[in-house]
Structure 1
Amino acid sequence: MTHLRLEGAGEAAQRAALMEIVRASPRLMAAFEAARDLDLPDWWIVSGALYNQVWNALTGRPELYGVKDIDLFYFDPDTSWAAEDRVIRAATARFPGEPPLEVRNQARVHLWYEQHFGRPCPAYRNSRQPIDHFACRTHCVGMKLLESGDFEIYAPYGLGDIFAFRLTPNPVMDNRATHEAKAARAVALWPELAVEPWPGLRGHAIASAATPT
């Protein structure tokens, strides 16, 4: 199966492949250049736009197929909505319009998370911590473009799951529903994926996740 050709290639080879895949995407590179120009504190482009594009590149699908938005994290101790809104407006004006930009100050996520999702969220101390808490370890990846033109990659659980086309749950928070919903959408778009069940649900979560809702 050629889409799994980098499975088990090792961390260094997978990091090099991720950077090569990103550089080959004009729309992703435009987003990274816009983010670098904004120069927000502790910024990262994270999650779907990165691992989805890996799957697209390895399966021959179009650029940014299946990517709903580009998630831009930053960390500003000013947790007022007014300050975040100014950043959102400035970023939206600078970024390419498609896919849409989702920019959030990770310093204030805990202020609205419980009301929105029905459970509390830690008060993060930087923009890497929320990456650690994504519902799926496969999704836990962030990148930033440096002034030198090099990339910095943050992947607390490595890149192995991405290149293995495997969705592995991350039970650091009670995110079972999120894991299963995201898995269902992903399998509908990339049927090559394998879905690991939420801990304690082995034998049934794979089937439920693979059924689009």
Structure 2
Amino acid sequence: MREMNIKSEKDITRLIESDGWMMNVLWAAKTLNLDDWWIGAGFLRDKVWDSVSNIAHRPTRDVDLVYFNLKNTRPEADWQYDEYMKKEYPFAEWEVRNQARMHYVNGFEPYASTAEGISNWIETATCVGVRLKDKRLEYLFCYGIQDLIGLVARPVPRFQTTGLMPIFYERIKKKQWRRKWPNLIVLEK
């Protein structure tokens, strides 16, 4: 793999646009016309971390497609989207989740937007999203891009102050991040 020096959003755009599978996933997600949709988490994080680690990208087939709809917060609506996407676009393992209802996972108060939902994911480098808007990539970096491009796993502020740090450490262990990215920097704050 040719090493790519990732320093900016422009570099991330080049990285994603050069990956046909990622672009196909984004085009497929766009077809649902969901309100305030983003694809986040490992879809973007893993690609960047592999690149800055000079590791051949191991695409996760898991795609976290999130959106915000207060009018229908039934889990069954998300499951229907999951099934539809898996049938129509079987090249990915789709998980479609309405952030208007996902606050319950960690016992938080309801979110007001998709961005707020994403900002409460466990690590700062995971609190990222990408989508196609007017045929161009658009990004959501809830905590900036420094941890993403710096190969840093850091809990979001809410996890640091609410006693949820064991979840942060368990995720790193369960997902084997230190094995996948030996140069990963794990910070508590």
Runs of 5+ consecutive residues of structure 1 not aligned to the other structure: 114-118, 200-213
1:95 & 1:192 partners in 2: Cα distance? 34
Alignment size in residue pairs: 182
1:29 & 1:66 partners in 2: Cα distance? 13
After TM superposition, the structure 1 = structure 2 runs for residues 27-176 of structure 1, keeping only pairs within 5 Å, are 27-63=21-57, 65=58, 67=60, 69-77=62-70, 78-98=72-92, 100-111=93-104, 113=105, 119-146=106-133, 148-173=134-159, 174=162, 175-176=164-165
Question: How much has 1:68 moved relative to structure 2?
Answer: 6.0
Contact 2:102 2:117 in 1 (8 A): no
Question: How much has 1:156 moved relative to structure 2?
Answer: 1.9
Classify 1:104/1:57 alpha carbon distance in 2 versus 1 (closer, same or farther; 3 Å).
same
Q: How does the TM-score come out when normalised to structure 1?
A: 0.77
Q: How does the TM-score come out when normalised to structure 2?
A: 0.85
Q: Deviations over 1:116-147 (max 9, x none)?
A: xxx4122112111111112211211111111x
Rg: which structure is higher? 1
Question: How much has 1:97 moved relative to structure 2?
Answer: 3.1
What is aligned with 1:187? 178
Contact 1:110 1:120 in 2 (8 A): yes
2:77 & 2:35 partners in 1: Cα distance? 13
Amino acid at match of 1:20: R
Q: Which runs of 4+ in 1 moved over 6 A?
A: none
Q: Deviations over 1:134-186 (max 9, x none)?
A: 2211211111111x321111112111111111112213133312221232321
Amino acid at match of 1:164: G
Q: Deviations over 1:36-88 (max 9, x none)?
A: 1111111100011101101222334333x163611110112211233223222
Identical-residue share of aligned pairs (%):
25
1:87 & 1:67 partners in 2: Cα distance? 19
